[in-house]
Amino acid sequence: MAATEYRRRERFLPFSRPTLGEEEKTEVLDSLNSGWITTGPKVVRFEEMFKERLGVNSAVSVNSGTAGLHVAVAALELGPEDEVIVPSITWAATSNVVELCGARTVFADVDPDTICMDPDDTAARITGRTRAIIPVHYAGQPADLGRFRSMTAGGNIALIQDAAHALGASYDGREIGSSGETCVFSFHPTKNITAGEGGMVTLNNEDIAERLRLLRFHGVSREARNRSGTGALAYDVILPGWKYNMLDIQAALGIHQLKKLDSMNARRRELAERYDLLLADVPEITPLGRVKYPATHSWHIYVVKLSTEAVGLDRDAFASALAEENIGTGLHFPPLHLSSYYRRKYGYEPGSLPNAEDAGKRIFSLPLFPLMTEEDQDDVVMALRKVIADNHR
């Protein structure tokens, strides 16, 4: 399209927006009117819906995905020499919880094409002190679970899936979270479903699930938690836990969001496939590759790589130029091993994880959310073309 035909869109298009309807509003009002707004019957219902959907024994709700990762790692009772391997391209929560649990983070590189945690690089970083591996299903594309399962098969290394992006995705024909391995979901407003904020840990191991329930609520004993209405008052504190319980007003959103998950994900997929077509003849912008093993994508985000060489702008300048055209973008994520804390603690230098570092300079996320229209999407692609044309070397 010639630059003369270009028209800047009038209203800013955010990179993500939640899809909230009348059902969510009515359910929240029901909580507010009932006099019971904190953890209660709606949280129980939301947990039951998760168990039913995924066919697992336990679904432990928490007030964020981060809290879910925190209790899942805390349940491993790691020591200061213990190591947990996580990918470098992830949200800070994945490794921060390892640090908060007093253990050591070991960063693994990512596949240059899909940005999923690289199994070969991960395997090379396993030592006698490795106690857990936390693969991230990046952007909604499952990590290569078969490979990570074989690395953790002996039972000495735990496998915790960071499935914050992957609700509704599947690996080898099975929905993520249905295997019964510890799997952590997030309901932050940008994720595939939202509860305002919130998280869920799904698993089949009832002993670990009970430990997670203790850790999410002050370490107060199950007996005490379960006897509201019986008139009994005494309780015991078994260990020092956190205050990570989900509220009923959060679950009120989540209950209706989960019912809409499949239709919302289908819309995400339609838009993603349309982006693939629209971007096919924009050589400066490359969508991420698809994994080679059987998997379905939940399309939490649509990530592309910028050819900074061809455009003559770095990624941040390019994103600022798009913002000038009223197009919002996201950054998921800069390489964590080069952030100040991790560099200071572990001495990482540039060059240590080359794929993560190269991706970190190029990737950004285009607007993608179920309520987005095809006109919105056309605006994004026209703005990309305009910024490229304005700056082309």
Ligand X SMILES: *Cc1c(COP(=O)(O)O)cnc(C)c1O
Q: 104 or 165: whose CB is closer to ligand X?
A: 165
Q: 140 or 370: whose CB is closer to ligand X?
A: 140
Residue 348 CB, nearest approach to ligand X (Å): 19
Asked if 192 interacts with ligand X (CB under 6 A), we say: no
Asked if 94 interacts with ligand X (CB under 6 A), we say: yes
Place of tokens 């490794």: 95
Measured CA to CA, the distance from residue 249 to residue 255 in angstroms comes to 10
Asked if 136 interacts with ligand X (CB under 6 A), we say: yes
Contact with ligand X (CB under 6 A): which of 15, 91, 217, 369?
91
* CA angle, 39 then 45 then 50, to 5°: 110
The catalytic residue among 25, 42, 51, 191 is 191
Residues in the chain: 393
Q: 136 or 193: whose CB is closer to ligand X?
A: 136
Stretch that binds ligand X, among 88-96, 253-261, 282-290, 305-313 (CB under 6 A): 88-96
Q: What is the CA radius of gyration of the chain?
A: 22
Asked if 295 interacts with ligand X (CB under 6 A), we say: no
Question: Could you tell me if 70 and 97 are in contact, meaning their C-beta atoms sit under 8 angstroms apart?
Answer: yes
Asked if 360 interacts with ligand X (CB under 6 A), we say: no
Asked if 183 interacts with ligand X (CB under 6 A), we say: no
Asked if 213 interacts with ligand X (CB under 6 A), we say: no
Q: 92 or 310: whose CB is closer to ligand X?
A: 92
Q: 93 or 264: whose CB is closer to ligand X?
A: 93
Give, as ranges, the residues between 15 and 74 that touch ligand X (CB under 6 A).
64-66
Contact with ligand X (CB under 6 A): which of 78, 93, 159, 353?
93
Contact with ligand X (CB under 6 A): which of 53, 70, 131, 188?
188
191 part of the active site: yes
Residue 188 CB, nearest approach to ligand X (Å): 4
Measured CA to CA, the distance from residue 251 to residue 264 in angstroms comes to 18
Residues annotated catalytic, as ranges:
191
Which positions touch ligand X (CB under 6 A)? 64-66, 90-91, 93-94, 136, 162, 164-165, 186, 188, 197, 199
